[in-house]
């Protein structure tokens, strides 16, 4: 950390490889911060359980394969539905009681839920990672000329970009999305037009949680499946959210990808700082642009 | 709120004095009834939780990153005492000073945003300090700093004696707690409560609220550091666990369970949680599950915490400025 900084330009393949890793991490930051932003917009709570739900998504894929022989492709569909349904249960049982209270209590409650879930999974599967192999159709690599691109990594980037921009499209460009945005601004008024706002809130939470689970399934073959994978990533995602601000869907997607890339670049030029890079950027952003890049201040 | 204030003015109420004396007697006699290191641990966390409560309970600022101050003060004290041969008091003061300086910087950054953003910023900054602790050499990485000598107090009292160490720790706790009590019951503390209740109103009354918030943050960080530095000498160990975000969660849970914004609540919550961890240690990850369950139960049914609920029914005994929200 405190050594001399040697900046030498690395060979192109090494640079591209780190940028690719950065882009992959960025894809997960984008999906998770998008889910946080969608949930926060509707429910007014910061979903600390998001990391656990991402972890459970990965476990879902692992368990489906191990015990039922269900393939990766079906897991991509089943895990978000199962975990999303579980999220809906959590919202109905616990979270809905907090809408009238200070936002802080939402954070505390979901933090408690995250502890419970993580503790249960750790009790059952320990802290070490479990391997989940890449589906056969996505193994191997393309030769791009200047580097080899593992097909699975390319798939993750494309898939998460499609999911993120699909979500953006639904929220910003469709009738359903306009209901959602309206209900975020003024739930009472939207309800008076005959739209069932409480159900919309519940489904929004389920959708956000499903996104986290989908990210978990995508992550399973890249990172190992471990009970700790969620809490490791969620704090970084919080920093991403502080930098981007939760006021904008597009903002949370863009800041996720960009910060992943910057983190990857740090790994090339100054690897000791790569784990702290995003936090340092957050501190700098707070100094120069306290509300974040796409920020709208919520209280 | 009104009844709480009225009770506050009732300084002469004998019950509160009796309660205070009973608690003091219990603290003085505790090492003869329980394992001294266990009681010392409880005192360290009681101070930590009380310092944390100064911020969340009285200034209304929810920090998720207090592990940074606790853990880094522990590292600095352990290193100074072990490698530089500093005496315990200077070592603890150095750790506390570092925590105060960190608190000043973190607070300066974090008070630019409010509410949950504030919580996320403090969490992220603390996680950054966790990674730094993992990276730099002097912290000993995964091993931490072990076999820290307790030394002799003022060159007179050998702190390897568990009872001598206990009363040293108790003295530190009482000093820290007195500072908190004095702060809460000062004009400064009244302004903090005003900011907690309605910051816009406090600004319109002419208070530079960011100065008050920053000072409260720094003070809270310094006292958390005092607790961490003391803990390093008690266990003769500073480790990554102390700077990890789970420690921030622990102190939050202690405060919530005992009662956010009550004077004695956080200390009571700390004693309960430390005892619980002690008895449940053999159950592994179930401790985490139970902690999570307590969070959920507290938030859903019990937001005033134990002392906060007691204060509702026995205002003259416990009230100290009212609970927030």
- Give B56-97 pLDDT, tens digit per residue: 999 888 899 999 999 999 999 999 998 898 888 999 999 999
For the segment B38-44, the average pLDDT, to the nearest whole number, is 92
Residues 241-260 on A with a CB inside 8 Å of B are: 241-242
Of the partner residues A46, A123, A276, the one whose CB lies closest to the CB of residue B285: A123
Of the partner residues B64, B125, B299, the one whose CB lies closest to the CB of residue A109: B299
Model confidence at B7: pLDDT above 50:
no
Lowest mean pLDDT among A65-74, B14-23, B31-40, B96-105: B14-23
Q: Kindly determine whether residue B113 and residue A103, on different chains, have CB atoms separated by under 8 Å.
A: no
Closest-CA distance, A220 to chain B, in angstroms, reads 23
Secondary structure element (H or E) that encloses residue A286, with its range: helix A277-288
Give which of B113, B111, B95 is closest to B48, Cα–Cα: B95
From residue A180, give the alpha-carbon distance in Å to each of A41, A47, A177: 9, 18, 5
**pLDDT band at A79, cuts 50/70/90?**
very high
Q: Which residues pair with A150 in a beta bridge?
A: A141
Looking at chain B, which residue has its C-alpha nearest residue A93?
B300
Highest mean pLDDT (candidates A44-48, A127-131, A214-218, B2-6): A214-218
3-state secondary structure of A292: coil
| Inter-chain CB pairs, A–B, below 8 Å | 140
**pLDDT band at B10, cuts 50/70/90?**
very low
A83 neighbors A209 (Cβ within 8 angstroms): yes
B296–A contact, CB cutoff 8 A: yes
A219–B contact, CB cutoff 8 A: no
Q: Is B97 exposed, middle or buried (0-12, 13-18, 19+ CB in 10 A)?
A: middle
Query: Tens digit of pLDDT for each residue in A6-61?
Result: 555 667 777 888 888 889 999 999 999 999 988 988 888 889 999 999 999 999 99
Mutate which of B55, B60, B128 to disrupt the A interface (most A C-beta within 10 Å)? B128
pLDDT score for A213: 95
Q: Is B182 exposed, middle or buried (0-12, 13-18, 19+ CB in 10 A)?
A: exposed
Calpha distance A71→A215 (Å, rounded): 16
For the segment B2-13, the average pLDDT, to the nearest whole number, is 47
Residues 58-117 on B with a CB inside 8 Å of A are: 62, 64, 109-110, 112-117
Closest-CA distance, B235 to chain A, in angstroms, reads 26
Calpha distance A207→A87 (Å, rounded): 9
Q: What percent of chain B has pLDDT over 90?
A: 42
Secondary structure element (H or E) that encloses residue A141, with its range: strand A141-143
A23 neighbors A225 (Cβ within 8 angstroms): no
B257–A contact, CB cutoff 8 A: no
Closest-CA distance, A45 to chain B, in angstroms, reads 8
Q: Kindly determine whether residue B300 and residue A94, on different chains, have CB atoms separated by under 8 Å.
A: yes
B276–A contact, CB cutoff 8 A: no
A238–B contact, CB cutoff 8 A: yes
Q: Kindly determine whether residue A235 and residue B124, on different chains, have CB atoms separated by under 8 Å.
A: yes
Give me the helices (H) in B185-323, please. Answer: 187-197, 199-204, 209-235, 240-243, 245-258, 265-280, 286-301, 305-313, 315-318
Q: Residues of B with CB below 8 A from A115's CB?
A: 249, 288-289, 291-292, 295
Q: Residues of A with CB below 8 A from B110's CB?
A: 286
Q: Kindly determine whether residue A102 and residue B325, on different chains, have CB atoms separated by under 8 Å.
A: yes
From residue A141, give the alpha-carbon distance in Å to each of A25, A27, A157, B222: 19, 19, 14, 53
Looking at chain B, which residue has its C-alpha nearest residue A121?
B285
For the segment B99-108, the average pLDDT, to the nearest whole number, is 95
Calpha distance B182→B149 (Å, rounded): 33
> What is the dihedral sign for C-alpha A121, A126, A129, A134?
negative
pLDDT score for A40: 87
Give which of A57, A62, A79, A55 is closest to A229, Cα–Cα: A55
pLDDT score for A1: 42
Model confidence at B244: pLDDT above 60:
yes
A271–B contact, CB cutoff 8 A: no
Q: Tokens for B246, please give them.
A: 């789970």
Q: Kindly determine whether residue A283 and residue B109, on different chains, have CB atoms separated by under 8 Å.
A: yes
Highest mean pLDDT (candidates A207-221, B141-155, B270-284, B290-304): A207-221
Q: Kindly determine whether residue A109 and residue B296, on different chains, have CB atoms separated by under 8 Å.
A: yes
Q: What is the pTM of this model?
A: 0.88
Closest-CA distance, A290 to chain B, in angstroms, reads 6
Q: Residues of B with CB below 8 A from A105's CB?
A: 299, 303
Query: What ipTM was reported for this prediction?
Result: 0.85
pLDDT score for B3: 46
B121–A contact, CB cutoff 8 A: yes
Q: Residues of A with CB below 8 A from B127's CB?
A: 235-236, 239, 279
B266 neighbors B254 (Cβ within 8 angstroms): yes
Looking at chain A, which residue has its C-alpha nearest residue B115?
A299
**pLDDT band at B323, cuts 50/70/90?**
very low
B198–A contact, CB cutoff 8 A: no
Looking at chain A, which residue has its C-alpha nearest residue B256?
A108
Q: Kindly determine whether residue A112 and residue B117, on different chains, have CB atoms separated by under 8 Å.
A: no
Q: Could you please state the CATH topology (level 3) that the domain comprising B2-318 is classified under.
A: ABC transporter involved in vitamin B12 uptake, BtuC (1.10.3470)
A142–B contact, CB cutoff 8 A: no
pLDDT score for B322: 47
3-state secondary structure of A43: helix
Query: Tens digit of pLDDT for each residue in B106-128?
Result: 999 988 888 888 888 898 899 89
A47 neighbors A36 (Cβ within 8 angstroms): yes
Closest-CA distance, B137 to chain A, in angstroms, reads 9
pLDDT score for B318: 62
From residue B156, give the alpha-carbon distance in Å to each of B75, B148, B166: 25, 19, 16
Calpha distance B286→B5 (Å, rounded): 41
């Amino acid at each position: 950390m405190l050594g001399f900084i040697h900046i030498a330009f690395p060979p192109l393949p090494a640079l591209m490889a780190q940028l690719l890793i950065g882009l992959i991490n960025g894809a997960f930051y984008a999906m998770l911060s998008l889910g946080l932003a969608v949930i926060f917009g509707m429910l007014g709570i910061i979903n600390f359980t998001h990391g656990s739900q991402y972890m459970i998504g990965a476990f879902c894929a692992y368990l489906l394969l191990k015990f039922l022989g269900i393939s990766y492709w079906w897991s991509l569909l089943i895990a978000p539905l199962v975990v999303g349904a579980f999220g809906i249960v959590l919202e109905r049982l616990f979270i809905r009681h907090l809408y009238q209270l200070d936002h802080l209590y939402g954070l505390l409650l979901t933090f408690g839920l995250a502890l419970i879930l993580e503790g249960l999974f750790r009790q059952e599967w320990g802290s070490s990672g479990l391997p989940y192999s890449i589906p056969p159709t996505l193994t191997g690599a393309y030769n791009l000329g200047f580097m080899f691109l593992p097909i699975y990594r390319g798939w993750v980037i494309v898939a998460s970009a499609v999911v993120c921009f699909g979500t953006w499209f639904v929220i910003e460009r469709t009738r359903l999305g306009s209901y959602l945005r309206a209900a975020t601004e003024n739930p009472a008024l939207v309800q008076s037009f005959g739209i069932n706002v409480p159900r919309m809130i519940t489904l929004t939470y389920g959708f956000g949680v499903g996104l986290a689970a989908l990210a978990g399934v995508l992550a399973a073959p890249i990172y190992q499946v471990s009970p700790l994978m969620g809490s490791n990533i969620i704090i970084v995602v919080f920093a991403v959210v502080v930098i981007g601000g939760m006021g904008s869907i597009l903002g949370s997607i863009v800041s996720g990808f960009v910060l992943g890339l910057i983190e990857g670049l740090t790994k090339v030029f100054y690897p000791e700082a790569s784990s702290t890079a995003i936090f340092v950027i957050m501190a700098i952003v707070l100094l120069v642009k306290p509300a974040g890049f796409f920020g709208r201040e919520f209280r | 709120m009104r009844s709480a204030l009225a009770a506050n003015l009732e300084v002469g109420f004998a019950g509160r004095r009796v309660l205070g004396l009973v608690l003091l007697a219990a603290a003085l006699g505790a090492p003869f009834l329980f394992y001294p290191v266990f009681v010392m641990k409880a005192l360290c966390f009681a101070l930590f939780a009380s310092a944390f409560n100064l911020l969340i309970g009285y200034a209304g600022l929810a920090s998720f990153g207090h592990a940074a101050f606790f853990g880094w003060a522990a590292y600095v004290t352990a290193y100074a005492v072990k490698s530089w041969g500093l005496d315990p008091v200077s070592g603890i003061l150095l750790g506390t000073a570092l925590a105060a300086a960190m608190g000043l910087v973190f607070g300066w950054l974090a008070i630019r945003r409010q509410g949950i953003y504030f919580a996320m910023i403090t969490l992220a900054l603390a996680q950054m300090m966790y990674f730094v602790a993992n990276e730099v050499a002097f912290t000993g990485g995964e091993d931490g700093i072990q076999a820290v000598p307790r030394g002799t107090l003022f060159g007179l009292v050998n702190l390897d004696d568990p009872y001598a160490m206990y009363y040293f720790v108790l003295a530190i706790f009482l000093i820290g707690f007195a500072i908190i009590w004095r702060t809460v019951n000062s004009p400064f503390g009244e302004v903090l409560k005003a900011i907690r209740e309605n910051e816009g109103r406090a600004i319109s009354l002419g208070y530079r609220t960011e100065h008050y918030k920053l000072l409260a943050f720094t003070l809270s960080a310094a006292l958390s550091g005092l607790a961490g530095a003391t803990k390093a000498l008690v266990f003769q160990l500073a480790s990554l666990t102390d700077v990890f975000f789970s420690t921030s969660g622990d102190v939050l849970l202690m405060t919530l369970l005992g009662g956010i914004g009550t004077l004695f609540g956080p200390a009571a919550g700390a004693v309960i949680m430390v005892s619980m961890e002690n008895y449940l240690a053999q159950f592994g990850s179930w401790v985490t599950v139970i902690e999570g369950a307590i969070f959920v139960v507290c938030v859903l049914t019990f937001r005033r915490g134990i002392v906060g609920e007691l204060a509702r029914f026995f205002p003259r005994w416990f009230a100290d400025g009212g609970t927030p929200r």
